[in-house]
Chains A and B, each alone.
Chain A
Amino acid sequence: MNEEVRIGIFICHCGTNIGGVIDCPELTAYATTLPNVVFAQDNLYTCSEAGLAQIKKGIEEYNLNRVIVASCSPRTHEPLFRATCQEKGVNPYLFDFVNIRDQCSWVHMHEPEKATEKAKDLIRMGVSRAYHLQSLEKNYVDINSSALIIGGGIAGITAALNLAKRGFEVIIIEKNEQLGGLLNNLNKLFPAQETASNLLKVRDEVFKHENIKIYTSTTIKAVEGFVGNFNIRISTGDEDVQLKVGVIIVATGANVFEPVGMFGYDGEKVITQFQLERLFKEGAFNANQVVMIQCVGARTEERTYCSAVCCMSALKNAKIIQELNPNAQITILHRDIYSPGTEYEKYYREAREKGICFIKYSLEKLPFVEEDSVRVFNHYIQEEVTIPSDLVVLSTPLIAYNDSKEVAQLLKVPRDEYGFFLEAHVKLRPVDFATDGIFVCGCAHWPKDVNETISQAYAAASRASTILSHKTLEVEGAVAKVNESLCVGCGVCMKLCPYDAITRSEEGLAYVRAVVCKGCGLCGASCPSQAITILHFTNDQILAQIGVVMEGK
């Protein structure tokens, strides 16, 4: 501390909210006895225009370089007082807040003396902390305003077009030769029976758009950097290309489970819904008695989830079969029918009205597929029935691609136990990863239908553009800082950081990427060498508060 610390304290009455319980004049008098306090004043409403004017006057007249307000809660009013300080040239991080209303006068209304004593202790703690506060500056990091989209299916394409139309440079990389993903293999889409290839007309738009660059038959080899400044190396098979992007969107989709060894699956008389799509597309469908079995390989012990799209796929394909062969008999063996929302429920109802038969089976008594029939225990009539069939169609779930593990490792993002990518927060951040600047959408996130995929793709584009829309990213002042002379490079902090904000520098030591750091303080509290300082919540500041609690009477 080079310069002399000059603390000013403003104690708020908040009308009678504080003043009616706590003896504010006594508090003010007490404050003046504390070390480094050069000015103390009580106001009726510190947050009012008049109160703020008093603060500014105090700063000027007494040359204050630390300001404390003792009033309500920093959670509501800290920004206001910080801005006031800044106006008068006091760095906002040199401002401290003491809560003597929400956590004192309001909760000890019938014990005014004790509340006043408590307030004195809190002010003493605040003064002690203020002495150790340091000015902090917000920094800015330049960012690259282009986006990398991994995966050229409907999700990747949708996100790409949205960003491109807004003027951002977009790069799509796709591991297959063609864009389009699963849609390339689908026949029609529920609930409108839209031809899948129609949706893929957007492929042309993508190829034509000047802001979009496409690499097919390409995979990622290396990823480095952080939000706004990712360095990616991709391999197109012929050569390696280095890319610099600001954000990454994962849109790698999902695969279809193949039920090898289940229900007599042979790919000819017992096929999957996915294979049925191809039969439709090739015009090769010709069965009369179709039995469909739902939840094959889903909602079981080993794969507990419901894949969302299989029931609707089955219903859709059943309807198509009826159109192709009005005399066909179709039975769907199910556990529950998943047809949520306004349109899908109607679709299900219509399917029933069109004479498609539904029989519920349970996990304990699975259907049995025989040469020309399927046996199933019908719970409702408590009897086993045999259904003649010349084609059995198994509805299988969407599963994660095997190489999602590699993508996850390259990007250092987590996956859940089924291999689907794990978002930052299930509810409030469904398309963000905890790592800033990386997003996910579509079936890479979780099985979903095309409509939901499109919504999520727009969502990922939106979230990505909240970063790309800025020329620079603001770096918070209250972040973690490594003292390189103490750091031994053990790497504990790097594994601990929930945001992957700490990397290894060239010297092998910990390096905090301030633009990613959220200031939680985990690293500081855990560093074995105690080499990390958490700015604005430093050990000194905290220990200073601890040191003076018991000093009071």
Chain B
Amino acid sequence: MEHNGKEVLIIGGGIAGIQASLDLAEMGAKVHLVEKSPCIGGRMAQLDKTFPTNDCAICILAPKLADCARNPNITLHTLSEVTKLDGEVGDFKVNILKHARFVKEDVCINCGDCVVKCPTKVLDAFDMELRYRKAIFLYYLQGVPSVMAIDKDNCLYLNKGVCQICKKQCQKDAIDFDQQDTEYELNVGAIIVASGFDPFDPTPLTRLGYRILRNVVTSLEFERMICASGPTQGHLERPSDKKPPQRIAFIQCVGSRDIKNNPYCSSVCCMYTTKEAMLAHEHDNNVESHIFYIDLRAAGKGFQKYLKRGSTEYNIDYIKSVVAEIEEGKNGNPIVFYEDMETGQLKSMEVDLVVLATSLLPRKEMNTLAEVLGVEQDEFRFIKTAPFAPLETSKEGIFVCGCARGPMDIPNSVAEASGAAAKAAEMFMRK
């Protein structure tokens, strides 16, 4: 199999980027997988379970992470980003900026001694800021590469010149404060953008009470709360008093189908909310969930059955409605004020916890990336694709897959990632 000495660049180490990498590596291409965080895994690593089978996200992701790390055709570039692009299909010259990890990747054995003694606490972005990590940290427990990284914005030594406790603790001398950011060039034949999504931040929607009322959380926060490896080891505790919530309201289309914020539909929220309600019920059979929706969108394989199971076996009540406002009642209990669209009546419901099903947005760095790559974005900042050419961007040789081009679920992201690999291979891989 000739790949004409060409290599492929994949931007984004989530499930889409990983799938595309593995397919291309299997085809014989050399792949550069660039990921901006310290470990690959992306959003899927933050999930507890995934619909419609409710199997454990990490369990099915981990073998793929290991495959990526071990595959001789795949080079991982973590803590890295693309800063410049020149050339054209078949001969792109890409500049990669690799941020210093301050830890030697081939020496660190992830023993954790350094973390124990580090004096600095930082809100953990992976856990949606629901708990603290240290300035030297492993991005997440099953992360690959399985080595530590130092957060240079918060490290005492890197900012104030004091400490270095981690270096003293490390028996393998893996810590290196002299590491510098490096910039280097890659010559690739094709590029696949798989940069994934950011969740919508519902703070501006003050009527829903996020960050105002104590017991209103977002779906991704809820996911971390209910995850066995999350901040509360999977025990569902509501923020105000740590009591387990019995009655939960899930509000759909937060930041979706909303002319003022994002007019589009995020496709996956009806399903993921049902999943979260099911998980809550599994943890505590007394939990009753109320899902406030506009339209129930579940067209994928097994999805309708999933919703049905939710309502018959998991005590989920679906209410077609428009939610006007959420206020706080006694004991920190949120009260949901809504219009019941079946009957036209105005109603209210007091619950223990509210979960906002937030929409999927393109990553905040998407504009910069699109500019660097010279590809067009659509009106919502996703990478634009033409009708019936779903994997091609406006620039020949640059392909896109997964949530970088629009909100979608894991099966579609994986299929698109494989598809993008085929398109990339078509560019320069001939038998």
- Chain A residues within CB distance 8 Å of chain B: 14-17, 45, 47, 75-76, 79, 145, 162, 165-168, 189, 191-192, 194, 199, 299, 304-308, 336-346, 349, 360, 379-382, 416, 420, 425-431, 445-447, 450-452, 454-463, 465-466, 469-470
Contacts and interface: CB of A to CB of B under 8 A. Distances in A.
Contacts of A379: 341-343
Given A342-B264, A431-B418, A454-B390, A15 B111 contact: yes
Nearest to A303: B304
B425 A340 contact: no
B406 to A, nearest CB: 5
A192 B415 contact: no
Contacts of B391: 455, 458
Contacts of B208: none
Nearest to B61: A428
B66 to A, nearest CB: 8
Given A162-B423, A167-B430, A339-B265, 7 more contacts: A345-B263, A379-B342, A380-B342, A427-B55, A427-B411, A430-B411, A462-B419
A360 to B, nearest CB: 8
Contacts, number: 193
A469 B1 contact: yes
B406 A341 contact: yes
B431 A162 contact: no
A57 B108 CA distance: 25
Given A168-B431, A427-B414, A336 B297 contact: yes
A255 B304 CA distance: 20
Contacts of A79: 70
Contact of A162 (B415, B417, B422): B422
Interface residues of B, number: 72
B52 interface: yes
B252 to A, nearest CB: 12
B144 to A, nearest CB: 10
Nearest to B259: A349
A341 B408 contact: yes
Contact of A446 (B26, B64, B297, B301): B301
- Residue among A304, A344, A428, A429 with most chain B CB within 10 A: A428
A420 B64 CA distance: 27
B299 interface: yes
B421 A342 contact: no
Pick from B50, B391, B412, B422 the residue with the most CB of A within 10 Å: B422
Q: Is the interface of A mostly helix, strand, loop or mixed?
A: loop
Interface in B367-401: 378, 380, 382, 387-391
B295 interface: yes
A463 B23 contact: yes
A306 B305 CA distance: 10
Contacts of B406: 341-343
Contacts of B297: 336, 338, 340
A460 B412 CA distance: 13
Nearest to B425: A166
Nearest to A456: B415
Nearest to A450: B388
A427 B305 contact: no
Contacts of B111: 14-15, 17
Given A16-B171, A336-B296, A341-B407, A420 B387 contact: no
Interface in B298-312: 298-305, 308
B133 interface: no
Nearest to B407: A341
B411 A307 contact: no
A231 B93 CA distance: 45
B53 A427 contact: yes
Contacts of B267: 340-341
B426 A166 contact: yes
A442 to B, nearest CB: 11
A168 B50 CA distance: 36
Given A191-B387, A338-B299, A428-B414, A465 B172 contact: no
A502 B336 CA distance: 58
A251 B286 CA distance: 46
Contacts of A461: 419, 422
B234 interface: no
A199 B344 CA distance: 45
- The 10 A-B pairs at the shortest CB distance, nearest first, are namely A167-B431, A458-B419, A462-B422, A466-B26, A459-B418, A308-B299, A340-B267, A192-B387, A462-B418, A345-B265
Given A167-B430, A337-B295, A462-B418, A342 B380 contact: yes
Contacts of B26: 466, 469
Contact of A430 (B299, B303, B414): B414
B390 A451 contact: yes
5 contacts: A338-B297, A342-B406, A345-B264, A458-B419, A463-B23
B172 A15 contact: yes
Nearest to B19: A428
Contacts of A446: 300-301
A166 B343 contact: no
Nearest to B342: A379
B265 A340 contact: yes
A259 to B, nearest CB: 18
Interface in B95-143: 109, 111
Contacts of A15: 109, 111, 171-172
B429 interface: yes
A306 B301 CA distance: 9
A469 B27 CA distance: 5
Contacts of B308: 304
Contact of B388 (A167, A199, A426, A445): A199
Contacts of B423: 162, 458
Most buried by B among A343, A447, A469: A469
Given A306-B303, A455-B416, A458-B423, A427 B343 contact: no
B28 interface: yes
B257 interface: yes
B60 A427 contact: yes
A344 B299 CA distance: 14
A156 to B, nearest CB: 14
Contacts of B257: 345
B390 A470 contact: no
Interface in B1-53: 1, 15, 19, 23, 26-28, 50, 52-53
A457 B64 CA distance: 22
B171 to A, nearest CB: 4
Contacts of A360: 320, 341
B76 interface: no
A145 B388 contact: no
Contacts of B429: 166, 469
A162 B389 CA distance: 13
A261 B109 CA distance: 69
B274 interface: no
A305 B111 CA distance: 49
Interface in B69-113: 70, 109, 111
B219 interface: no
A275 to B, nearest CB: 23
B366 interface: no
Contacts of A429: 414
Contacts of A165: 426
Contacts of A463: 23, 418
B141 to A, nearest CB: 12
Contacts of B299: 305-308, 338, 340, 447
Contact of B264 (A47, A346, A454, A469): A346
